Amino acid sequence: MIPHTTTNAGLHEFVANRVLANYAKEGIRAVDLGSGPGAMASRLRALGCQVLAVDRTADGFIAGLPHVAIDFDQNDFGCQLGPASFDLVTAIEVIEHVESPVGFLRNIKSLLTPTGVAVITTPNVDSLPARVKFFLTGRIRAMDKFSEPTHISPIFWDLFCRQFLPRAGLNMREHLLFPPRDYQLSRKLISRTFRIAGTFFSQECTFGDNHVLVLETTR
């Protein structure tokens, strides 16, 4: 049984079906960062991976898998888990919770084997609804006082690609948006309006509430 998750409905299933099905192979070593109750770790195990779950605390973890408690704000938490030890790293809705996104990405790189990949997700603060919200209120969608209070690091797409990834020594292999060409966090009428408006914009991140990213080490 897959434990419950508080992420956007359908996000875990989307990641598992559209991404992990291509990378999670029988017997490979995988680490799930920010495991929570263990939903993604359980999916990785079901795909045949040897899984280590990691979070700041084991409170609420019910997946019945090996678990390590680590603070992701430590500069070198990757050293405690084993440098170059994992073929697959997942971090579902984690990077926006850490104090240093670049530091978090560097630790992810340190965990990967030379041919390994990392799959991370994070709120899309460049979407059309997010841009409209910031224009009207000056607040960042999914990061304001009505959102999860531990969201402290919005990931802006231009900075992420142009600055964060090169500094961390990572490349983008794949980029998907969830939900594709739609919005889940807005009310239906508003979502419909944004879907129509979004067709007039050519920017890569106009649609979707979440980024789904596949990263690899710089060759």
Give the count of domains, the chain. Answer: 1
CB atoms < 10 A from the CB of 112, how many? 24
Does residue 132 belong to any structural domain of this protein? no
Q: Residue 7 has what pLDDT?
A: 82
Does residue 198 belong to any structural domain of this protein? no
pLDDT tens by residue, 5-26: 878 889 999 999 999 999 999 9
Does residue 78 belong to any structural domain of this protein? yes
Shortest CA distance to 209 belongs to which of 96, 121, 98?
121
Cα angle 21-121-141, degrees, rounded to a multiple of 5? 145
Q: Annotate 7-64 with DSSP letters as a single string.
A: SSTTHHHHHIIIIIHHH--TT-EEEEES-TTTHHHHHHHHTT-EEEEEES--TT--S-
Instruction: Considering only residues 203 and 136, tell me which one the structure prediction assigns the higher pLDDT.
Output: 136
What is d(CA 167, CA 183) in angstroms, rounded to the nearest whole number? 31
pTM of the model: 0.93
Does residue 145 belong to any structural domain of this protein? no
- CATH code of 30's domain: 3.40.50.150
Which range, of 5-9, 95-99, 150-154, averages the lowest pLDDT? 5-9
pLDDT tens by residue, 165-209: 999 999 999 999 999 888 887 777 777 776 766 677 767 899 999
Does residue 93 belong to any structural domain of this protein? yes
Per the structure, the complete domain to which residue 42 belongs is given by 11-123+151-184+208-217
Does residue 129 belong to any structural domain of this protein? no
CB within 8 Å of 74: residues ≥ 6 apart: 80
Residue 85 pLDDT > 80, yes or no?
yes
